[in-house]
Amino acid sequence: MKAIRVHQFGGPEVLKLEEVPDPKPGAGEVLVRVHAAGVNPVDTYIRAGAYARKPVPPYVPGADAAGIVEAVGAGVTTVTPGARVYVIGAADEWKGTYAGLVVCRPEQVFPLPDRISFAQGTALGVPCATAYRALFQRGHGLPAEIVLVHGASGGVGTAAVQLARARGLTVIGTAGSDRGLQLVREQGAHHVFNHRSPGYTDQIMAATGGRGVDLVIEMAAHINLDNDLALLAQHGRVVVVGNRGRIEIDPRRTMGKEAAIIGMTLFAATPADLKSLHAALGESLANGTLTPVVGREFPLADAARAHEAVMEAGAYGKIVLVP
Ligand code: NAP
């Protein structure tokens, strides 16, 4: 099969398309033919050698994919060959989804409804699961609350807008381009603002009638965290989803409001959390309230271009690789 391999950490050019032997599923494993693989910002941090968890090269990047079950190993009863599925992670984390085939454990494989394309299916494992965990498992968002999805135009943000709107929250979303603002509006946001416009945080506060927001889902905490604290209502929460550096905050901004800053990472989700959130995503796919947005598709051979694209401003849903 063809796979992207990284032999040394570095820029996008270290992503090399190579011919490697087809993997075989061992006992208790599932072999999935990858029809599309999702590109996440974390894939670029790992590739650069800048992430907390580092593989020993060579490794195959990628955690998200959708495709068809090719074969199952002995003892697998919950997944059958021929099934349309999405996957989150691989049995060996460093033999990932940027490949023609990937070996997974059964609990990493979930049914993909017919109405969701393989490309859309690549958004479920990391972006949609992150959005759900941030909104509900960590942020405890409730119907009638106001949520600010700060960075709503990308993979996580578009999913967060859809999921929050379906749960009955009032949704404020931000993007950095006109196209992104239009996309966020189409996903169901009640109000949209450009996070590159001077004074936009004042406009957000005005949209809440001066009350503030109950919950912030934050994609760029290194830029926004201190302003987020100012935007919170009494007992408000900020969930830090994305962060690329350090920031000074005024802790006093948390005191009178009894506000909370809550970290989140999908890697910290327990098996019970994951089971619960994928059940919720499955229901949202079934009832039509969750439909992942695909912005750009690249051939697998162009993984380097996809890694450049995922870090550019002007996000528009998911970036996908097609083997
Ligand atoms: P993405 O598709 O590249 O989207 C990035 C989003 O951040 C876009 O909406 C972008 O808007 C927005 N953004 C850029 N500058 C911003 C600013 N100054 N203020 C607010 N938003 C800004 O990435 P993604 O997959 O949605 O992931 C978003 C972030 O979450 C990344 O940092 C990623 O590493 C992180 N993440 C964390 C977890 C976790 O487990 N904690 C899981 C998945 C992702 P424009 O491009 O329109 O300006």
Query: Ligand 1 mean position to 117 CA, how many Å?
Result: 23
What is the distance in A from the centroid of ligand 1 to the CA of 251? 24
Residue 214 tokens, joined: 């109950």
| Cα distances (angstroms) measured from residue 67 to each of 203, 224, 314 | 43, 37, 28
Low-confidence ranges of the chain (pLDDT < 70): none
Could you report the per-residue pLDDT of 23-73, keeping only the tens digit for each?
999 999 999 999 999 999 999 999 999 998 899 999 999 999 999 999 999
Residue nearest ligand 1's atom 5 by CA = 154
The pTM for the full model equals 0.98
Buried b (16+ CB within 10 A) or exposed e, 127-153: bbbbbbbbbbbbbebeeebbbbbbbbb
**What's the chain's Rg over C-alpha atoms?**
20
Pick the CATH number of 2-116+292-322 from 3.90.180.10, 3.40.50.300, 1.10.220.10, 3.30.930.10: 3.90.180.10
Structure tokens at 63: 């955690």
Q: Which residues contact 25 (CB under 8 A, 6 or more apart)?
A: 31, 71, 72, 73, 76, 103
Instruction: Name which CATH class applies to 125-266.
Output: alpha beta
Give the closest residue (by CA) to ligand 1 atom 35.
Answer: 242
The ligand 1 atom nearest the CA atom of 45: 34
User: What are the domain boundaries of the chain?
Assistant: 2-116+292-322, 125-266
Best CA proximity match to 302, nearest among 53, 35, 17: 17
Q: What are phi and psi of 209, to 5 degrees?
A: 65, 25
2-116+292-322 and 125-266 agree in CATH topology: no
Tokens of 238: 């900020």
CB 72 within 8 A of CB 79: yes
130-166 pLDDT, tens digit each: 999 999 999 999 999 999 999 999 999 999 999 999 9
Please work out, in degrees rounded to the nearest 5, the angle formed at the alpha carbon of residue 274 by the alpha carbons of 272 and 278: 125
User: Pocket residues for ligand 1 (CB within 6 Å)?
Assistant: 40-42, 126-127, 130, 150-157, 174-177, 180, 195, 219-220, 223-224, 241-242, 264-266, 310, 313-315
